[in-house]
Amino acid sequence: MDTTLLRVNGKRLRASLEQMAGIGATPGGGVQRLALSDEDQKARDLLVSWLRDLDLGVTIDEMGSIFGRRPGRDDSLPPVMMGSHVDSQPKGGRFDGILGVMGALEVMRTLHEHQVRTERPIVIVDWTNEEGSRFAPAMVASGVWAGALERDWAYGRTDLNGKKQGEELERIGYKGKAPAKKWPVHAYYEYHIEQGPLLERQGKTIGAPKGILCLHWYDVYLTGEANQVGPTPMEGRHDALVAAAEMVLAVNRLPARMGGNMVATVGEVQCYPNSRNIIPDRAHFTVDIRSWDDEHALKAWELAKKDFQEIAARQGTPMRLEETWRVAHAPFNEKLVQRVLETAGQLGCSSLHMVSGAGHDASYLNQVCPTAMIFVPSIGGRSHVEVENTSWEDCEAGANVLLHCVLTSAGER
């Protein structure tokens, strides 16, 4: 058949997204499907059943990533890979990650129903724990697969309740046997919502990021001295939370002080014993620094550390710093980025060449194979929130761009 006329089934894509949105649905209209939770397990089971319905060869690797392989005419050629993640943030949205997996599934269904044969095999993937919210860091399974992170280190990462990532993989039945180890991939496409406001503001349907900012994650642990809040004078206190609060403000000021293009955020704080009438004797918070310029982000951290040392000394709250995770900025394969733009044009969609501020498994894939992403607009530029939304028309448009990018790559010798 003339595959240029091929289109995905938008209604079927919507139905799959809606069914997935029911797994871990939150009262505010979002989803909570934390990595390796019972909800993640249910979403995985459903995905695997859908992959089996298409007769795909299903493999689970040691990090729990799920692969579904469709043979090519020349099955010895490296495959084209497409996918994203099914896990979510706490009180996350119904599109982040899952759109890229359901979009890829819709591409597979479309090829299956029209009995399209491609030269190269095609693989759909769901990467384990992209979010890094329950177990830091993010993108851990694609990082292990790409050879950038150690499997056993990843297994040992714990959540706030002390549960280990490796044990939780086992508990939900997704600690697979296949080595979490890269194999040759001809091209990797990740379809995703933009998670920012640019496409909507500029009235464009498809975004083709030229790459992803670097992501640097840090953990700060402070020790103070607990005491009864009433009788203890304000002078001479060693309040771990007050020290943390000053440090949070220092992080917020970093981008303005540094200049250039960067963002810096504290998103998670714990305070102990967390009682209104005890001076906190322990505090922990996270720092997230992102920039297109890795060196700039590193310099920002040096500046932050100096501030932290001064604050900790003044407050009398000894500090421990952990440089938890760094992934370099990812400049995508220019040929594939152009292909996304051209394919959008051929399908009658407006498009924008841009940068991704959000992290994606594509960062690690980009280190080992030609990689590009396809973005569709986030309504109001909102993401990692329950109101995260994208129109069904845009979901369908992005899936059609994915379909045709994949067809082109899978047709290459």
Report how far apart, in Å, the C-alpha atoms of 49 and of each of 44, 122, 144, 334 are: 9, 18, 25, 35
Q: In angstroms, what is the minimal distance from the CB of 235 to Mn ion?
A: 44
271: left (phi over 0), alpha (psi -120 to 50) or beta: beta
341: left (phi over 0), alpha (psi -120 to 50) or beta: alpha
Q: CB of 40 within 8 A of CB of 79?
A: no
Measured CA to CA, the distance from residue 66 to residue 214 in angstroms comes to 26
**Concatenated DSSP letters of 158-196:** B-TT--BHHHHHHHTT---SB-------SEEEEEEE--S
Q: In angstroms, what is the minimal distance from the CB of 138 to ligand GLV?
A: 5
Binders of ligand GLV in range 353-372 (CB under 6 A): 358-359
Pick the binder of ligand GLV from 8, 104, 124, 138 (CB under 6 A).
138
Toward ligand GLV, which CB reaches closer, 86 or 245?
A: 86
Q: Which does 138 bind (CB under 5 to 8 A by kind): ligand GLV, Mn ion, none?
A: ligand GLV
Q: In angstroms, what is the minimal distance from the CB of 127 to Mn ion?
A: 10
Q: Which residues have C-beta within 8 Å of that of residue 376, sequence separation ≥ 6?
A: 99, 191, 192, 193, 194, 199, 205, 206, 207, 390, 394, 395, 397, 398
Toward Mn ion, which CB reaches closer, 176 or 357?
A: 357
Toward Mn ion, which CB reaches closer, 139 or 403?
A: 139
Q: What are phi and psi of 314, to 5 degrees?
A: -65, -40
Size of the site for Mn ion (CB under 5 A): 2
Binders of Mn ion in range 82-141 (CB under 5 A): 96-97
Toward Mn ion, which CB reaches closer, 175 or 192?
A: 192
Closest CA to 192 of 410, 404, 388: 388
Q: Which residues pair with 215 in a beta bridge?
A: 290, 327
Q: In angstroms, what is the minimal distance from the CB of 102 to ligand GLV?
A: 17
Q: Which does 168 bind (CB under 5 to 8 A by kind): Mn ion, ligand GLV, none?
A: none
Toward Mn ion, which CB reaches closer, 140 or 241?
A: 140
Q: In angstroms, what is the minimal distance from the CB of 243 to Mn ion?
A: 30
Binders of ligand GLV in range 166-195 (CB under 6 A): none
Q: Is 402 in the site for ligand GLV (CB under 6 A)?
A: no
Size of the site for ligand GLV (CB under 6 A): 4
Q: In angstroms, what is the minimal distance from the CB of 288 to ligand GLV?
A: 7
Toward Mn ion, which CB reaches closer, 95 or 218?
A: 95
Q: Which does 361 bind (CB under 5 to 8 A by kind): ligand GLV, Mn ion, none?
A: none
Pick the binder of ligand GLV from 131, 281, 388, 396 (CB under 6 A).
131
Q: CB of 94 within 8 A of CB of 21?
A: yes
For the chain, report the end-to-end CA distance as a whole number of angstroms. 19
Structure-token match 């990740």, residue found = 190
User: Which spans of this chain sit near Mn ion (rule: CB under 5 A)?
Assistant: 96-97
User: Which spans of this chain sit near ligand GLV (rule: CB under 6 A)?
Assistant: 131, 138, 358-359
